[in-house]
Amino acid sequence: MHRGSRAGMATSCNTVAFGEYGLQCLERAWIDTKQIEAARVAINRFMKRRGKVWIRVFPQKSFTKKPLETRMGKGKGPLESWVAVVKPATVMFEVDGVTEAIAREAMRLAATKLPISMKFISRHRLG
Q: Is residue 6 part of a domain?
A: no
pTM given for the model: 0.87
Tell me: the pLDDT tens digits for 37-90?
A: 999 999 999 999 899 999 999 999 998 999 999 999 999 999 999 999 999 999
Distance CA 21, CA 103 (A): 7
Above 60 in pLDDT, residue 126?
no
Range of the domain at 109: 21-64+79-126
First and final C-alpha spacing in the chain: 39
Contacts of 101 (CB under 8 A, 6+ apart): none
Count the domains in the chain. 1
| Diameter of the chain measured on Cα atoms | 56
Flag whether 15 is in a domain. Answer: no
CATH of the domain at 96: 3.90.1170.10
- Between CA 54 and CA 93 the distance in angstroms is 6
Cα–Cα distance measured from residue 76 to residue 15, given in angstroms and rounded to the nearest whole number: 38
DSSP one-letter code for 76: P
Q: Is residue 1 part of a domain?
A: no
In a domain, 14, yes or no: no
Does 94 reside within a domain? yes
Q: Is residue 106 part of a domain?
A: yes
Query: What is the spatial distance between Cα 56 and Cα 47, in angstroms, rounded to a whole number?
Result: 18
- Asked, for residue 120, whether it belongs to a domain, the answer is yes
- The answer to the question of residue 7 being in a domain is no
